[in-house]
Chain A
Amino acid sequence: MAFKTEHFMLNVGPQHPSTHGVFRMRFTLDGEVIVDLEPIFGYLHRGIEKLAEDRTYTQNIPFTDRLDYLASMTSNQAYCMAVEKLAGITVPERAEYIRVIMSELQRIASHLAGIGFFLQDLGAFMTPLLYMFREREKIVDLFDMVCGQRLNYNYLRFGGLSQDIPPEFIPALKKLVNALPGFIDEYDRLISENEVFLVRTKGVGILSREMAISSAAAGPVLRGSDVNWDIRKSNPYSVYDRFEFDIPVAKTGDSFDRYWVRLQEMRQSVRIIEQAIEQLPEGDVQAKVSRLLKPPAGDAYVSIEGPKGEIGFYLVSDGSVKPYRWRVRPPCFINLTTLRDIIIGWKVADAMVIFGSIDIVLGEVDR
């Protein structure tokens, strides 16, 4: 005879060490099994899209930094590319190459933070996170060298970059690129075969191929579910068509696969950077663009492959100095919409693993 039991409500967050910021989840539990999940967000809502409508195009670049603060360079790039499309600006070659180097470094840095926090959520408290942050620190040092800050870089400008890379940047970058594959191997040895890690992630939180596509997920979440889709390959922007690299795709779509895709993507990013250093041309880094940009009336949408997925900007201009509409396509937010479907049926202890494997940044979810 089955016991008649009542469902139990469990609130997690908004302030919880594993919710990566201020995200709140309301679980409905049947014993230990999750039967429903209500994600609640908006605690970090700053109204950036509305604020942006009241500022000039250039003044909005710092706001894109504050969306996904672990991947500011790619947000910068997506926004600058959208404005460049709107205003018809061409970017000098050297600037394109430097942008590629920056966004690939950013991809590595973001995945390192993503994997580190994922392992922290698994209960491997602090040690793996500090391994990851050791390398992230080296990358952040380089960003600091070119743009003066370790977060919120604000480095890209319409038609190029705010300033050229300093002379000691390329030697330091070469040294880093030589050392990085060794570090990635080290993580591989440290984590990928660890039995506890495998038991907790293999087959946990499976996102099926169909659901991944129909929910418009992107980035490692999508590629972990056996979908070969990467904007760098399928719709090459900037100078990505000049590099050789592979798109790692995993088959099952479980938490382990999402981790695995991130790890492999870092190796590919190192490959891209190596080629970009070799091909880096000399020349200007900034096209002639008027300080107070007035793009012609119209609209433009540009999306690029950010570390967490497809980050896009939709801009509507009415011909004045301020955008009429400034809309972000936030990859973390859209990846997060799959959470409810993949978490139902798992135990509470697995919830944080699945949540961590999606790798979100609340700054971008809430905007």
Chain B
Amino acid sequence: MFPFERYGKGIAKGMAVTFKHFGRKWITTQYPEQKLNMSRRIRGTDIIWVRETCIACQACARACPVGAIEMQVSRGEDKKLKVDFMSIDFSLCIFCGLCIEPCPPGNAIYMSHNYERTTYRCTDISAGHEDITPSDKRCNELIVVGDDLEMAEGKRKSAYGRPDEYEKLPRQTLLLEQIQYLDDMRKKWG
């Protein structure tokens, strides 16, 4: 039996679709030269903890499904709870965002808006740390301890579970905004 009973009409139809797309505008982005704005609620690669506003209730540590948050608290001289030690093990963290939600003051722990943990060269990471190898430094980068977790330059808070931050962040770029080419194609090809 000759398999192409209809002499390749369907293939021609499919190829027509392909040709319509041929020569249209690109919709892909040339990362790292061009960057998209991420969602304003992105659960980024850091967790930002603010020592000043934290009331040391440990609700975040209890909410974590993988036990990534380690927090030690003690009563100070004025009988108020204070945090002695706080660390988040980012090799355990699954970036679920559950630690953000139960925080009673609502402004002590945030996901960050940052999503890049990469550098161009392996050696860039270990710059200024002669005593450790690049892979060691990589691990160190991921485990941010105590006060390092506070807002560093260029780290923005994400609006995940924090509606107040929402307006401060740039608008998310959607691929959906680039479907102009569909109308163009329709005009061109009918």
Do A and B interact?
yes
Q: Are A189 and B111 in contact (CB under 8 A)?
A: no
Query: Which residues of chain B have C-beta atoms less than 8 A from A134's C-beta?
Result: 27, 175
Q: List 12 A-B contacts (CB under 8 A).
A: A58-B98, A145-B174, A154-B98, A166-B41, A166-B166, A175-B176, A186-B17, A191-B14, A193-B9, A193-B14, A195-B6, A195-B10
Query: Which residues of chain B have C-beta atoms less than 8 A from A154's C-beta?
Result: 96-98
Number of A-B contacts (CB under 8 A): 112
> CA–CA, A229 to B129, complex, Å?
63
Q: Given A55-B65, A166-B40, A194 and B10 touching (CB < 8 A)?
A: yes
A144 within 8 A of B: yes
Query: Which residues of chain A have C-beta atoms less than 8 A from B18's C-beta?
Result: 127, 190
- Which of B42, B65, B174 interacts with A172 by CB under 8 Å? B174
Contact residues on B (Cβ < 8 Å of other chain), bracket: 35 or more
Q: Which residues of A contact B (CB under 8 A)?
A: 55, 58-63, 127, 134, 137-138, 141-142, 144-149, 152, 154, 162-163, 166, 168, 172, 175-176, 179, 182, 186, 189-199, 291
Residue of A nearest to B160 (CB): A148
Query: Which residues of chain B have C-beta atoms less than 8 A from A193's C-beta?
Result: 9-10, 13-14
B140 within 8 A of A: no
- Which of A55, A138, A192, A196 interacts with B174 by CB under 8 Å? A138
Q: Annotate B87-99 by CB proximity to A: 1 below 8 A, 0 otherwise.
A: 0000000111110
> CA–CA, A197 to B6, complex, Å?
13
Q: Looking at chain A's contact residues, is the secondary structure mostly helix, strand, loop, or mixed?
A: helix
- Which of A60, A141, A175 interacts with B65 by CB under 8 Å? A60
Q: Are A190 and B39 in contact (CB under 8 A)?
A: no
> CA–CA, A63 to B65, complex, Å?
9
Q: Are A141 and B17 in contact (CB under 8 A)?
A: no
Shortest A79–chain B CB gap in Å is 13
Q: Are B95 and A59 in contact (CB under 8 A)?
A: no
Query: Which residues of chain A have C-beta atoms less than 8 A from B11's C-beta?
Result: 194-196
Query: Which residues of chain B have C-beta atoms less than 8 A from A152's C-beta?
Result: 94, 96
Q: Are A189 and B16 in contact (CB under 8 A)?
A: yes
> CA–CA, A251 to B43, complex, Å?
45
Q: Which of B1-15 contact A (CB under 8 A)?
A: 3-6, 8-11, 13-14
